[in-house]
């Protein structure tokens, strides 16, 4: 038979327990794939290692950190400067209205934890003159910016979710709630909150 004749030529001269091996060619597609990976590896080394055109791990890390700082305003970007600006309570109706919209919106969900009227639910009552983390404009802004992740309140700060401008309106809205005495106020956490009146 022709095929067997052909196989005779390819037969390698070793044998294990009657098992013989043919010296067949590797499939052409497989060979090309192999050459391709060699070429790819060569170009890869040229691009990342030898010419330094592509960023290495450290450069990629720096790039990601810079991008995150830009997005979330951390590090030594300009946003961080803005975040330390002095906070003040606005008293004009437009600011307070905007603050209320942000507080009551489904984007930030403040009302779900602090109550629609600020009376407190999971989070503390924001209408009384007892505060856990201080009642100065800067302290309230800081509370919202940094959040209390261990208590369930996420950080909203530095323009990532609420811009500094909007945050001024939110703290102004909170200030406007002082002494409003909503229904079902949450009791003061006397073990932690201290008396503090917003000026």
Which positions lie near ligand HEC, rule CB under 6 A?
103, 108-110, 112-114, 122-124, 126, 131-133, 140, 143-144, 148, 151-153, 156, 170, 193
Q: Single out the residue of 41, 31, 72 nearest to residue 157, CA to CA.
A: 72
Looking at the Cβ atoms of 84 and 191, the one nearer to ligand HEC is 191
Token digits for 151? 């208590």
**In the complex, minimum distance from the CB of residue 94 to ligand HEC, in angstroms, rounded to a whole number:** 18
* 120 φ/ψ angles, rounded to the nearest 5 degrees: 95, 140
**In the complex, minimum distance from the CB of residue 147 to ligand HEC, in angstroms, rounded to a whole number:** 7
Q: Are 128 and 122 in contact (CB under 8 A)?
A: no
First to last CA, the chain: 105
Measured CA angle at 109 (ends 105, 111), to 5 deg = 90
Measured in residues, the chain has a length of: 199
**In the complex, minimum distance from the CB of residue 190 to ligand HEC, in angstroms, rounded to a whole number:** 12
**In the complex, minimum distance from the CB of residue 69 to ligand HEC, in angstroms, rounded to a whole number:** 22
Looking at the Cβ atoms of 79 and 100, the one nearer to ligand HEC is 100
Which H/E stretch holds residue 169?
helix 164-176
Q: Are 114 and 126 in contact (CB under 8 A)?
A: yes
CA 71 to chain centre: 9
**In the complex, minimum distance from the CB of residue 76 to ligand HEC, in angstroms, rounded to a whole number:** 26
Looking at the Cβ atoms of 48 and 111, the one nearer to ligand HEC is 111
Looking at the Cβ atoms of 112 and 180, the one nearer to ligand HEC is 112
Looking at the Cβ atoms of 67 and 154, the one nearer to ligand HEC is 154
């Amino acid at each position: 038979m022709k095929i067997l004749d052909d196989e005779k030529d390819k037969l390698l001269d070793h044998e294990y327990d009657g098992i013989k091996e043919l010296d067949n060619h590797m499939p052409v597609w497989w060979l090309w794939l192999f050459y391709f990976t060699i070429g790819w590896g060569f170009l890869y080394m040229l691009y990342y290692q030898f010419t330094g055109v592509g960023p290495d791990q450290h450069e990629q890390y720096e790039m990601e950190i810079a991008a995150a700082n830009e997005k979330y305003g951390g590090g030594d970007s300009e946003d961080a400067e803005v975040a330390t600006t002095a906070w003040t309570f606005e008293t004009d109706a437009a600011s307070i209205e905007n603050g209320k919209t942000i507080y009551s919106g489904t984007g930030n969900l403040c009302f779900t934890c602090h109550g629609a009227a600020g009376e407190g639910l999971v989070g503390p009552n924001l209408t009384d003159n007892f505060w856990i983390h201080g009642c100065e404009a800067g302290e309230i802004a800081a509370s919202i910016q940094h959040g209390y992740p261990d208590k369930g309140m996420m950080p909203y700060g530095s323009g990532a979710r609420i811009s500094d401008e909007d945050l001024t309106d939110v703290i102004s809205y909170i200030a406007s709630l002082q002494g409003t005495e909503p229904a079902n106020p949450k009791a003061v956490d006397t073990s932690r909150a201290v008396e503090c009146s917003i000026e």
